Amino acid sequence: MSSTPHSVAVNSYNSNHAVYDQHRLSYSPKITEKFLIDLKLAKGSEGSLKTDTNKKILELASGTGKFTKLLTTYGWSDTLTVVEPSEGMIETFSKNFPHIEAKQGSSYDIPVPDQSYDVVIIAQGFHWFSDDRSLKEINRVLKPGGMFGCIWNFDAPSGAITIAPADPEVEIIYDDTHKNVKAAEVPQLVGSYFEAHPWAIATADFTYSYDVNVPQYRHGKWREALTKDKTYFRPISKENFYLFTTTIKHDDVPLYWGTRSYITKLNSEERAEYDSKLSALVDETVTENDKSIENDTVYLKKAVGTHTIVLEVNK
């Protein structure tokens, strides 16, 4: 893996940052609160969280601030710094959060002093730079006892949810219940949840066919990097999965998938063909069970997952 930010990511996000900000999903407070507790940034339970905003957070590859918004909701401001390689993303981020310090940089050269942060968080980005050099640099900026956490939204089951060889604490969270499970149970439980709306899996699989030689969460290569590392971080201690159903307008489906870097880089003719085929696939696969009426508008129901991992720095 290169020791510079991936060109596909930087170039696509320089051009599509506004669309990304509008159409990418945010993160639910339900999983965010559990994540903050696991990162030792908060105590308490869902709905009665007590955060420690004196702890300094570095959010790496912050994008337009999808996760940053949650952090500010829970009280972080002066003790929060973001680092992002894409000028376009920083442009939108600074409009969204003019009071948050934003620095241009990457996981290979984080522009902050040694041992200066309690926690490093990466939302929807670690797969782009999951290598030894990044882990070394993240280790450098963390204080002794510091925590490293990653969070991803995902649209379909994949190899990334297969937990091996480590056996961390694992919890699956639904809207109405929490369930502690064994790592080996995760693929079946997640897979069965997504089966409720096959159209969404069909559109995901179709879009993934355009993904050629581009690092993605679903490939699970990021897990290999963490498993191989014996120097900078201890093994993953906790993994959580939040499974929920959201809705999307039919016409917004191409816009949603169009925020993917490998779709953004298509030329205009290729993009028009992709949008046309995707819309036709939606029409072919959506059933009445997938439809929801909201304010006289038809929405399509789709299953979504959020995955978090937490590790302690080794120093």
pLDDT greater than 60 at residue 9 = no
**Of 225, 226, 245, whose CA–CA distance to 235 is shortest?**
226
Structure tokens at 136: 């070394």
Contact 236, 226 (CB under 8 A): yes
Peptide bond into 165 cis (omega under 30): yes
> What is the average pLDDT score of the chain?
92
Residues of the chain with pLDDT > 90, as a percent, come to 81
pLDDT greater than 90 at residue 147 = yes
Half-sphere exposure of 89 toward its Cβ, with a 13 Å CA cutoff?
27
Is residue 133 within a helix (H) or strand (E), and if so which, with residue range? helix 132-141
- Rg of the Cα trace of the chain? 19
Longest CA pairwise span in the chain (Å): 57
Q: Is the whole-model pTM more than 0.85? A: yes
Structural domains of the chain, ranges and CATH numbers in brackets:
7-312 (3.40.50.150)
Pairing label, strands 142-154, 297-312 = antiparallel
Q: For helices 268-285 and 198-208, what crossing angle results, to 10°? A: 160
Per-residue pLDDT band at 12 (split at 50, 70, 90): very low
pLDDT greater than 80 at residue 7 = no
What length does the chain have?
A: 315
Rounded CA-CA distance 131/108 in Å is: 10
pLDDT in tens, 275-299: 999 999 999 999 999 999 988 899 9
Within 8 A by CB and 6+ apart from 241, the residues are: 161, 170, 171, 172, 173, 186, 190, 305, 306, 307
Structure tokens at 145: 């006892």
Rounded CA-CA distance 28/102 in Å is: 23
Per-residue pLDDT band at 192 (split at 50, 70, 90): very high
pLDDT in tens, 64-109: 899 999 999 999 999 999 999 988 889 989 999 999 999 999 999 9
pLDDT greater than 60 at residue 5 = no
What is the arithmetic mean of pLDDT over 205-220?
92
How far is the CA of 231 from the CAs of 166, 218, 239, in angstroms? 16, 25, 21
Rounded CA-CA distance 59/302 in Å is: 29
